[in-house]
Chain A
Amino acid sequence: MKHRYSRTPNSGIFFVSRYEDVIQIAKDHKTFSSRMMGPTRAMAGSEDPEVVAVLKSGYENVPTMLTEDPPNQRRYRKFVDGAFSPSSLKSLEPFIENLSNELIDTFIDKGECEFLSKFGVPLPLRVIISQLGAPQEDLPLFRKWTEAFIGNLSQQLDKEGILQAAKDMVEFQHYFVARMNERRAEPADDILSKLVNASFDGEQPLTDAECLSMLSQILVAGNETTSASLTEGLWLLIENPDQYQLLKDDPSPEMISRLVEEVLRISSPSSNMFRRTTREVEMHGVTIPENSILFARFASANHDDNQFPEAAKFNLMRDNLKDQVAFGKGVHHCLGAALSRREMNIGFKVILDRMENFRLAEGASDPEFSANALLHGMTGLDIAFRQKVKMYQHKKRGVSPFFYAG
């Protein structure tokens, strides 16, 4: 696996924080490139020989969707767009609802739980595992790999952490290359089969390295951001009883959709996205040299009072909820945005149907957030609640997502 160690010419990193500027960057991929290779430095290996050795045992990292610009970026997206289309996602709804209920079954009798690990993480992770056609019993592996990718993005790992992340990511690669070979021999109805067997307009099929790059992006984007928003959303309901009351008074799909959009705006789990300037740019009197790395700060944009009056306030009744940019904007608008919205809409509906009177568990401290340069989410959330509906009808349907193999 090659890895990238990008060094800005002489300028450090530029942080762009206002809504209108972030939108400008997101919409202008010709000036603000997502491709981090090229003029920035791309080296095979790092200064640490142990990390080099581990990475060399894996596959070359190549730019694909999030790390590529049009037209190549569009080529990669069309391989997986179908899997995240409205019709594909519609068929997932019963699975998501049943899974939400089964997860709640595991803790509802106790009247309390650590919500992130019991619901926020497993709901989207189990969905993406099924989408990828992997067995559900491999969930611990997928969690480990997700944490490795996130740790890598955090820019906060020490030498030992970087080494472990490299090992875990190479393990991810070998796991999926084996599964890709299986799907070439025997295709199934899953994203993996579509990736390895698809070819458009006579183009060459994707290489293993291209598939692995896309799979890593689908894995992280497909679960971590939703986990973070589900968890922070519950915290926001605890912290804002007036808004929770609005939902209790009117738990309609429209109100739950409002909840989801406002939670996404406030939580903004993909807080920053990097770009590289392809030419010198001047913004607000600051000259940004060509080949500079900048952060388009989507979380800051979502808290811009000029776009969202009293932006720090959690307010389900905002009249411009759809202006939030938690999933980005422009050509890199999140591939999994529709899936994430479905998971959150269904997940919150089931939560509100079955539990009430949410509060911090006795003795629990206010939740803390992890340090990460690109992603933002809580490290945990200990809650207590009152049970409304003990058992769910999914048992009658005979569908058990825990054993669903996709």
Chain B
Amino acid sequence: MSDEVARVATCPVHQISPMHPDILKSPWGMNRRLRDEAPVFQDSEFRHFFCFTL
């Protein structure tokens, strides 16, 4: 388990970073926390969605 995945298990929910690479690889623990504690979660740090195709 990476440090970030371990941190997400216990940190305050507003400190979760859903787009952290380690969380994208292993999202299950975060998913459970968001479903239980923040079903609509605002990640105000991630402002850019880059997509030049699709």
What is A's interface to B at a CB cutoff of 8 Å? 1-8, 11-18, 21, 36, 46, 55, 61, 66-67, 149, 152-156, 162, 166, 169, 213, 216-217, 220, 271, 274, 283-284, 286, 288, 293, 297, 299-300, 303-304, 312, 368-373, 376
**Smallest CB separation, A315 vs chain B (Å):** 16
In the assembled complex, the Cα of A66 lies from the Cα of B51 at a distance in Å of 13
- 1/0 per position for B18-53, CB-CB distance to A under 8 A? 110110111110011011001111111111111111
List chain B residues, Cβ under 8 A from A15.
18, 34, 40-43
In the bound complex, do residue B43 and residue A16 qualify as a contact, i.e. CB atoms below 8 Å apart? no
A286 touches B42 (CB 8 A): yes
Residues of B within 8 A of A67 (CB): 54
CA distance A271 to B40 in the complex (A): 16
Interchain CA distance A170-B39 in the complex, whole Å? 39
Closest residue of chain A to B34 (Cβ to Cβ) is: A17
For residue A372, which residues in chain B have a CB less than 8 angstroms away from its CB?
24
- Bound CA span A17–B47, Å: 19
A373 touches B40 (CB 8 A): no
**A288 and B40 contact, CB distance less than 8 A:** yes
Question: Which residue of B41, B48, B53 is within 8 Å of A7 (Cβ)?
Answer: B48
Sorted nearest first, the 4 A-B pairs with minimum C-beta distance are A3-B52, A12-B44, A371-B21, A371-B24
Interface residues on B, range: 20 to 34
CB distance from A291 to the nearest CB of B (A): 12
The 8 Å CB contact of A8, one of B34, B38, B47, B51, is B47
Q: Are B31 and A300 in contact (CB under 8 A)?
A: yes
Q: Roughly how many angstroms separate A373 CA and B35 CA in the complex, as a whole number?
A: 18
Q: A149 touches which one: B24, B35, B49, B53 (CB < 8 A)?
A: B53
Q: Is the CB of B28 within 8 A of A149?
A: no
Distance between A265 CB and nearest chain B CB, rounded to angstroms: 13
Instruction: Contact check, A304 vs B35: say whether CB atoms are below 8 A apart.
Output: yes
Q: Are A5 and B48 in contact (CB under 8 A)?
A: yes
Q: Is the CB of A12 within 8 A of B43?
A: yes
Q: Is the CB of B47 within 8 A of A4?
A: no
Asked if B53 and A17 sit within 8 Å, CB to CB, the answer is no
CB distance from B20 to the nearest CB of A (A): 9
Q: Which residues in A have their C-beta under 8 angstroms from that of B32?
A: 303
| Bound CA–CA A3/B54 (angstroms) | 10
A368 neighbours in B (Cβ, 8 Å): 25
Cα distance, A300 to B29, chains bound together (Å): 10
Contacts of A288 in B (CB 8 A): 40
A371 to B27, CA, bound (A): 10
Can you name 5 extra interface pairs (CB under 8 A) apart from A152-B53, A370-B25?
A4-B51, A4-B52, A14-B43, A21-B40, A67-B54
Q: Please, how many angstroms separate the alpha-carbon atoms of A38 and B17 in the complex?
A: 28
Q: Are B28 and A303 in contact (CB under 8 A)?
A: yes
Query: Considering the chains assembled together, what is the distance between the CA atoms of A336 and B32 in angstroms?
Result: 29
Residue of B whose beta carbon sits closest to that of A149: B53
- Find out whether the CB atom of A36 lies under 8 angstroms from the CB atom of B51: yes
CA distance A166 to B34 in the complex (A): 34
Q: Are A12 and B45 within 8 A (Cβ)?
A: yes
Q: By the criterion CB–CB under 8 Å, are B54 and A153 in contact? A: yes
Q: Is the CB of B39 within 8 A of A16?
A: yes
Establish whether residues A66 and B54, one from each chain, have CB atoms under 8 Å apart when the complex forms: yes
Q: Judge whether A169 and B24 touch: CB under 8 Å.
A: no
B43: chain A residues at CB < 8 Å are: 12-15
Known pairs A149-B54, A376-B27; A6 contacts B49 (CB<8 A):
yes
B54 touching A217, Cβ below 8 Å: yes
Q: Is the CB of A12 within 8 A of B35?
A: no
